[in-house]
Each structure stands twice: as structure tokens, then as C-alpha cells.
Structure 1
Amino acid sequence: MKSFSPLPATLIEPIVRSALLEDLGRCGDLTSDAVIPDDCTATLLLRARQAGVVAGLDLVAFAFLLVEPAVDMHICRPDGSDVAAGETIAKLCGPARGLLTAERTALNYLCHLSGIATATAAIVDAVRGHKARIVCTRKTTPGLRALEKYAVRVGGGANHRFGLDDAVLIKDNHIAIAGGIRTAIERAIAAAGHMVKIEVEVDTLEQLDIALGLGVDAVLLDNMSVDDLTRAVAMVGGRAITEASGRVTEKTAPAIAATAVDLISVGWLTHSAPILDIGLDIPVDGNICTHLN
């Protein structure tokens, strides 16, 4: 079941404002200001052009609000909704210049985040019936991590750590530079506060045995075969959280989940998920433009 809360406005506003400033540059929307009369109003529809899961409407609302506060937005299909191709997501009415100026920024966010939510929902559905949760990683677009992780939650997934300060995650390079898995874990245990959890990446069952003996909180079972994952979960026996990662797709996820791992982490959800195609369209039977005076 999808469980998510809206992102705080204090987080959204500066991100959207920065994107608008990037687009508007030094002198604003030359095209709309030249072509569209300043007293022209319009009604436009946000429509899905392919089936998927909606995410990012709060950013859409902020994009239009910051450009033109008089734009009115009526949401038909809120974040988390499944939409069919051709379905209306929201209706926008107001000054036409503002609608056109904010259009691309709004769609950039909506298409990107809806794509992440859609891809997440597909993998979540693929492992339904198993206990494994689908989680994202820190492989995110710089500056957009909170938004992309939100989209994963909208799609029914869950979040791994948000940053380096969330928890200790000892990976292969840490182990190599520290001089071995035992040394790395012992140093982490000595340095971490009592509220900080420790996870360690293991590539072999021998490494897993050492990690379990030292009492880590979670183990990242990296790029293991399904057979090795099954053995690893049995070895852990509930003593730590088990996380599988490596080349996870909608097709491979069910077999991974069947090993009874607790988590399946999928980096491409945030760094490579295709967009959901959404457009801002003129209603076929509506007035394209009216005038304020």
C-alpha cells in the first residue's frame, strides 16, 4: 500500500524558484510576452499521454503560483493516482502568459517524478506477495534527492538513507582501504553513536559470517545469485536486516524477493527511470482564449 506525506512547501518553493530563474534568465519569456496579449486568459488541461502513476503536482502548483498567482489549478487525479493514457490530471485556468511561461518547468518536474513513481509501482507490483520492500538509493539527480525519493514513496516504495549522515554504510571501497571487513566494522562500531545503525556490504558468504559475528544491524548482499541470496538469508536468520542489490529489474525482482530478503534496493529508479509523458493541452471543446476586458 502506498504511504506518503506531501513534501513541505519550504522545501519545494526554493527548488521550483531556482528552476524558473534558470528558464526565465535576464528578461523573462520573450515569446509569450510578444505573442500573447496581456489581458488574455486560457483554460488548459494536464493530460497523461501514457498510463502511469502521478507524482509532483505540488511542484506544478508552485511553478504556476510563482509565475502568476492568478492561475487557478483544479486537481482531478492527485499524487499517487493511477492514470490511463488520455486521462486529465489537472485543469488550469488563468492569464495565458503565465500558463505558457510556467508550462515547461511544471512539466519537467511532473513528467520526471511521475516516471519514477510509475517505475517504482511496477517493481512493487512485481514482488507483491513477498515481504521484501523496494527501496531507492543515493543515486539521485543533484539537488533533486528529496523530490525523487518522494516519488519513490508515491509509487509504493520506501527510502534508503537520504545522505551520508543518516547511517553507517560500509561498502567495498571502505573495506579495501580500511584493510579488511573486520577492521572496518570494528572501527565503525567504536565510532558510531548509540542511535546510528551500521550496515555493511558483503559479496561473499564468508564476509557475511564475519559481519554477523560482529553484530551489524543490516547487511547489503551485493550482486549475489539467487542461490547465494537464499543461503545468505538463512545464515542471517533474522539477526540483521537483509538487503539485496544489483541489476534489479521488474523481471528479476520476483525471484530475488522469493529468497525472503527484507529489502531490494534499486538505484536506477531515481537516476534512470524514463519520464511519464504528460502534456499541457488545449481542451477540444473549450474556449482557447478569452479576454479580461
Structure 2
Amino acid sequence: MKVLLANPRGFCAGVDRAIEIVERALSKHGAPVYVRNEVVHNKFVVNDLKAKGAIFVKEIEEVPEHQVVVFSAHGVSQQTRKQAKAINSTIYDATCPLVTKVHKEVVRKQKQHSQVILIGHKGHPEVEGTLGQSNDHEQVILVETAQDVEQLVINGSVSYTTQTTLSVDDTQDIVDKLKEKFPNIQAPKKDDICYATQNRQDAVKTLMKSADLLLVLGSRNSSNSNRLREIAEKLDMPAYLIDGADEINPNWLVEVETIGVTAGASAPEILVQEVINYLYDHGATEVLEVSGIQENVHFSVPETLR
């Protein structure tokens, strides 16, 4: 049995930065540090930070006054920012800069009196944060599918933006529908789907030309990890999203000659190595790195934490 490792895989620059912000805040202030939502969507990472003194909360109301608060990589609404300031907290913003770019785009378009359409998944923290950038008079409209586009009735200027962790192919279908319905719709200056999401999806497409099965390291609530699994499934290949090697079912490996392994942008490399060790113990004879795009993006932490 042969194992093919996708490249690139695992942590992206935004995730690296978010984790570093929490760790530096703990080092500077000591425990506890309150983190609004999971800083990144990965069980292993969250549990590790909990052990170091991070407390994860759903709402700012759960945070006592005068505490340290970190906003997650997915971003937060303007309302959440106001709530954090109101309790006199020390705030560190771990929002991925690529998500911040989307937030700024929403604000800019609304100032130009353009109706903003957001392509994304309802209930995802990033989507909630982006919807929360809108002013009181003009709400951002959320679109999840190409079918949703057909229900839209908009007069005047219209523009769109997207969640950063979507399927590139599925999003293009929705964008095509929007352009068909609103020929003058304004697109973002640069694609909103982040470089890491795109690169990991392209790597899986390459991988699945040679693999019979795909294992994706990533948590169930990780949007970009789910999209990686879906790529293989759309090719009628078996694919499994797992948090670690202990979730592998040996029956999956029966009569499989080549296994593809990748990791979502919030899954650490240590989990990939544990899977490799498991596969060696269950019949793998060689592990090959598949060549792919080299990523050299780095996002700096806030100056106050340097």
C-alpha cells in the first residue's frame, strides 16, 4: 500500500498567526485569556490552548470585566467589538487578514450604496462576522446556492463577496448565476477565496488522479477541511474527514492500493505524522510527498504582542 501526501497541506498563515496571538497573550498576561469562539476550527489545537490557560466562549457576556479577549481567526461582528470594549477588556484581534479584507470590502461597498451579496454557509462564524459588518439600513444578503440567486429581487447597484473557505468550483457556479441575473454586478478586486483554500483544493485534485481513497485531517466544523473531502467524493472516491489516526476504520483500507492524505488549513502536521505511522502499521510500504505550490505567506502578530 502506497501513501501520497498532498502539498500544500495543514496550517496556513492566518491559522499560524491566530494561534501565535493566543500563545503570546498567555505569555504576556498569564492565564486566563478569553477567546471568542474557537480560535481556529481544530479540536487538537483548541484542547492544547485550553491546557495552556485559554478559555473559549461563545459570547462576550461570558467574559468578566477587565480581562484579556482574543477574537478568533474567523472574525467578529461590529456588535461583538463594541461589547468587548464595553467591559474594558484588553483586546487582541486574531482575525485572518484575508477575512479583514472582506470586511473592509463590505463596508466600502455599502458606503457606495451598493447592495452587497455574501456567498457563504449560514451559521459559520466567518459568515456571521461578515454579515455583522453591515450598517443598520442596508443588510448584507446571504446566498448559499445557485438556486438562492433565482429568488433575489434587487434594484440599483449590486456587488458580491464570498466566505474565504468555500469550494472554488461551487462558488464559481454561484458567481456565474449572479452575473447572469445581474450583468452589472461588481466583483471583488481580488478573489475572496483565500490562497490557502485554493491551493489545498488544487493539491487534492492532483492527488486524486493517483489515489483510491482520501483521508483529510480536520475537524467536523472546519469549512475548508469539509471542502477537501467533497472534492474526492465528487470524483466518486471514498473520502473521510478525521480528527486523528484513532478515527481511522481499518475496513476503509481493505484492498486499497494508494491512499491520499491531506490536512485542512487548521490541522497541525503532528496529526498527519500520526496517520502516517498508523498506515505504516497497517500495510503501507512507502510514503511519497506529491509536489505542489510552495507557500511563503506570513502574517505578523499585532505590534503590542511582538
TM-score w.r.t. length of structure 1:
0.33
Greater Rg by CA: 1
TM-score w.r.t. length of structure 2:
0.32
